[in-house]
Structure 1
Amino acid sequence: MTPEQLSEVVIAAARAAVTDRGLDPAPLPPTATVERPRNPEHGDYATNLALQVGKKVGLPPRELAQAIADNLAQITGIAGAEIAGPGFLNIRLDPAATGALARLVVEAGAEYGRGTLLRGNKINLEFVSVNPTGPIHIGGVRWAAVGDALARLLKAVGAEVGTEYYFNDAGSQIDRFALSLYATAKGLPVPEDGYHGEYIGEIAQEVLRKQPDALGLAEDQAVEVFRVEGVALMFAEVKSKLTEFGVHFDRYFNEKELHDRGELASALERLRAQGRVYEADGATWIRTTDFGDDKDRVYVRSNGAYTYYAADCAYYLDKRQRGFDRVVIMLGADHHGYIGRLRAMCACFGDDPDRNLEVLIGQLVNLVKDGQPVRMSKRAGTVVSLDDLVDAIGVDAARYALARYSVDSTIDVDLDLWTRRTNDNPIYYVQYVAARTAGVSRMATDIGLSRGEDFDPALLSHEKELDLLKSLGDFPGIVATAAELREPHRVTRYLEELAGSYHRFYDNCRILPRGDEPVTDQMRARLWLNDAARTVIANGLGLLGVSAPERM
């Protein structure tokens, strides 16, 4: 029995307790909070439902708790329930009900852990979105790992998710990029505010291979060639590197599309219809201070040019018009000041910033090797790139390391730690369980041992077996919480705890026979539990975009 199933049972028991007394069950929530108690001696699970709703339904909490306990005692799979304190309820499961979870997990397979918490939600998730003027830097790599994991989590709990990468392929940064390519191709110094690094030379040479006559054109025409070809090459490289990193976007959206389709003008008219537009100093402004912004924002400059903010407005509106109920945008730490202006923008369109918009801010990432910070990449110039990280520790370790911490915290990725083949390396520790469980299954097959259909879950009664079963039962709740709170790191920490539970089970509970020892029903039961652990490890790693190897 999973915590989710137990939650439904507790609510049903509470509903019966209330209605049997002629009281209105309407105040009861749809689900009950069911958690493992801090002290295992208090039971398998605990709930504070009676404390939450006792007064609302017209019963003292302890009286309601006793009534729930009496009803739970009649349910198959529950050994008993005891009242604690002012109305807490400690619940003990029958060993067979606990052990039956192993079969449930194995038979559910890849579906175990998935749910319906966000069914009906249509979410647009934009992440990475670095300018196409250089390789993806380490901050962008963090968003690639976290954003992709979050997309997987949201889908796992029923949301319809569209992932999106926004290319800022218009504006001054592209001008500087094109001029940097042109200067490098001509053998001239790169402009002071231009882009540096070996990749600029590489792209400049590739442009010349594609357009060998470019340098013979007038300067403005030549720069335009380098702009168009250079951005296309950078765009292709970014897409290729993200694909190699296991990140696939449903849509790559170019800022230039907004300009070409006249969407900035359309968005302005929508804002004007909302009464949020005014003219001052020859410019067109949006009255964002009406919704808490620290200042009003310029939409069209006095010279007639649209601002970056105008593109942000048009892009947000475009997403909403494509049917997304919620727009989630992941930004780096240097964009913290954007939260207020984006929320005000959302409100100016007549939307609810608390329902239709969500801005996530991620902190910085530092690479450390031999105890010293890794400060720059030779190819990328002043930043450490995706390639640098993957070359150092591999895709799996990179994705896991970057998703392992809350995005609210700055992290140091120790390259020495993440390449060790020891248990102090978190990804090794977890993937080793994937390999070990697969190895047990292979060896069982080799000796003709199968799980069989006559599975007696009550045989899984050893303390370490029960601990592992409880850990497996926690997985659906972890997935739901990680998705709801936008915190993929909860999955990594859970997997590490699960790995520890499996190792302790493996060390204390022999699964396979030795020599000519006969196969027992208990061994078959333990093989079910072994395979259940493999299923959950694989499902959890899959949510992070990390492999579950069969051998290491």
Structure 2
Amino acid sequence: MTVGHGRNAVTGDTVANLLSAVGYEVDREYYFNNAGRQMRVLGDSVRLRYLELLGEKIDFPEEYYQGEYIKDIARKLFDEYGDKLKEESADGIFKERAEKEIFVEINQTLKRLDIVFDNYFNEHSLYEEGRIKNLLELFKQKNLSYEKDGAVWLKFSELGNEQDKVIVKSSGEPTYRLPDIAYHITKFERGYDLIVDLFGSDHNATYPDVMAALKALGYDTDKVKVLIHQFVTIMQGGEIVKMSTRKANYITLDELIDEVGADVVRYFFNMRSITSHLNFDIDLAKKQSDENPVFYLQYAHARISSILRMTKEEGLEMSTENLHLLETDEEQRLLKKLYQYPDEVTLSAENYEPHRICVYLEELAALFHKFYTVCRVIGSPKDLAEARIALIVATKTVLKNGLSLLGVSAPDRM
């Protein structure tokens, strides 16, 4: 998984957390692209690397997958089968083994970010179950498609979009739009009240076509919310780290987690609106200072935990009976910010905007640190001290709950 996949996964998981928090019953589903040309290229990439291990001189195509992981899969097949697979096609064991091993690795990476899916939907099943074939027949029956130049076209120009588009190429291979339409039909058939799609910005041109086709078939597309996230740029030493998936000169999501930790990865992916390009600054992410928002928030939580341990030793307890004693500007601002938390969660969920929680928590932490500088807990009169304990307990609770929505831990000690 690349860092681009990471933004998609973290954003989707956090949106699911937010929707759950406001009362939705949420299913998290992973749509696994295991059909079409890219899978054939994957299988053939492994096949050619396998043949290289047999000593054959191979002219490896530029557009094939260049990563070391391809060689690793080929090496495992060579160790297991020797030269017995020499005449096997790319679509057989080479593709199957590559898919299986890569899927295992994807799941392992996701678990490191505490992302677990309820459902896995394989694109290939749409072909196996005849859904693609049936959908093509349905378009034909409804006079929504036609053939031209050996390809099948959908009449998008009649559905409100600019021009007709190919849904089956002259080679017989479907374009992305066709299986995407078929997949969404399964979601409607499963009775979901709300369907949230998360795509990278490279899908900007295709999803309106999918929505238009679904609407033409009679489905309520108002139930579908499409979220488009912008790309991620990794920065280090003030420079962009260049990345290319196929050439494998990219930083994997695992490497990023190894470098800065899962908490930082999740927070940084969440802290900017998904409509904005994200510059992921590794140097900032590794800083143990107030400049790093993750450190800033976790330190606020740990500092409160430390204060509460000391107040316990002093025999002081939380009390809400004298909250009227919280009169300073610092106390009042903190109280008002805490009061806003439920509304922030609701707005973040309704607008599918996890970054709002990040902004809120950073503002809350800043107000707490200001409070801590000005207002003493230990050493104040008992009634005031216990009212202030109630205030910081509430702050600690909100910090922990907010970080939990983002999938970030809230340590008691740092």
Specify if TM > 0.5.
yes
What do the CA deviations read for 1:131-178 (whole angstroms, capped 9, x no partner)? xxxxx1121111122111111111111222222111111111111111
Tell me by how many angstroms 1:279 deviates: 4.2
Which residue number in structure 2 is paired with residue 337 of structure 1?
Answer: 205
Which residue number in structure 1 is paired with residue 61 of structure 2?
Answer: 191
The reply on whether 1:387 has 2:254 as its aligned counterpart is yes
**Distance (Å, rounded) in 1 between the aligned partners of 2:336 and 2:95:** 58
Amino acid at match of 2:105: E
Secondary structure in 2 matching 1:328: strand
Structure 2: give runs of 5+ residues left out of the alignment.
Answer: 53-57
More displaced stretch, 381-390 vs 272-281: 272-281
What do the CA deviations read for 1:13-65 (whole angstroms, capped 9, x no partner)? xxxxxxxxxxxxxxxxxxxxxxxxxxxxxxxxxxxxxxxxxxxxxxxxxxxxx
Tell me by how many angstroms 1:444 deviates: 2.0
More displaced stretch, 403-412 vs 198-207: 198-207
Alignment of 1:48-197 (within 5 A): 136-187=1-52, 188-197=58-67
**Distance (Å, rounded) in 1 between the aligned partners of 2:365 and 2:235:** 26
Which residue number in structure 2 is paired with residue 466 of structure 1?
Answer: 332
**Distance (Å, rounded) in 2 between the aligned partners of 1:371 and 1:397:** 19
Structure 1 residues 411 and 324, CA gap change in structure 2 (3 angstroms): same
What do the CA deviations read for 1:417-466 (whole angstroms, capped 9, x no partner)? 111111111111111111111112222223332215x6222122221111
Tell me by how many angstroms 1:282 deviates: 4.8
Which residue number in structure 2 is paired with residue 115 of structure 1?
Answer: none
Tell me by how many angstroms 1:255 deviates: 0.7
**Quick one: which of 249, 260, 277 aligns to 2:117?**
249
Structure 1 residues 287 and 213, CA gap change in structure 2 (3 angstroms): same
Query: Conserved in 2, the CA contact under 8 Å of 1:289 and 1:344?
Result: no
Structure 1 residues 378 and 406, CA gap change in structure 2 (3 angstroms): closer
The reply on whether 1:477 has 2:347 as its aligned counterpart is no
Query: Conserved in 2, the CA contact under 8 Å of 1:143 and 1:362?
Result: yes
Secondary structure in 2 matching 1:361: strand
Structure 1 residues 361 and 377, CA gap change in structure 2 (3 angstroms): closer
Secondary structure in 2 matching 1:252: strand
Secondary structure in 2 matching 1:311: helix
What do the CA deviations read for 1:268-302 (whole angstroms, capped 9, x no partner)? 34445655344445544332222222322334445
RMSD of aligned Cα (Å): 2.2
Query: Conserved in 2, the CA contact under 8 Å of 1:376 and 1:382?
Result: yes
Query: Conserved in 2, the CA contact under 8 Å of 1:325 and 1:356?
Result: yes
Which residue number in structure 1 is paired with residue 159 of structure 2?
Answer: 291
**Distance (Å, rounded) in 2 between the aligned partners of 1:267 and 1:376:** 37
Tell me by how many angstroms 1:219 deviates: 2.3
**Distance (Å, rounded) in 2 between the aligned partners of 1:401 and 1:469:** 27
The reply on whether 1:356 has 2:223 as its aligned counterpart is yes
The reply on whether 1:449 has 2:312 as its aligned counterpart is no
Q: Which has the higher contact order (CA 8 A, sep 6+)?
A: 2
What do the CA deviations read for 1:83-126 (whole angstroms, capped 9, x no partner)? xxxxxxxxxxxxxxxxxxxxxxxxxxxxxxxxxxxxxxxxxxxx
**Distance (Å, rounded) in 2 between the aligned partners of 1:336 and 1:396:** 30
Tell me by how many angstroms 1:365 deviates: 1.1
The reply on whether 1:551 has 2:413 as its aligned counterpart is yes
What do the CA deviations read for 1:458-501 (whole angstroms, capped 9, x no partner)? 12222111100000011111111111111111110110000011
Query: Conserved in 1, the CA contact under 8 Å of 2:263 and 2:409?
Result: yes
Q: TM-score, normalised by structure 2?
A: 0.92
The reply on whether 1:489 has 2:355 as its aligned counterpart is yes
**Distance (Å, rounded) in 2 between the aligned partners of 1:506 and 1:142:** 34
Which residue number in structure 1 is paired with residue 71 of structure 2?
Answer: 201
Structure 1 residues 282 and 421, CA gap change in structure 2 (3 angstroms): closer
Secondary structure in 2 matching 1:161: coil
The reply on whether 1:417 has 2:287 as its aligned counterpart is no
Aligned residue pair count: 409
**Distance (Å, rounded) in 2 between the aligned partners of 1:215 and 1:362:** 45
Structure 1: give runs of 5+ residues left out of the alignment.
Answer: 1-135
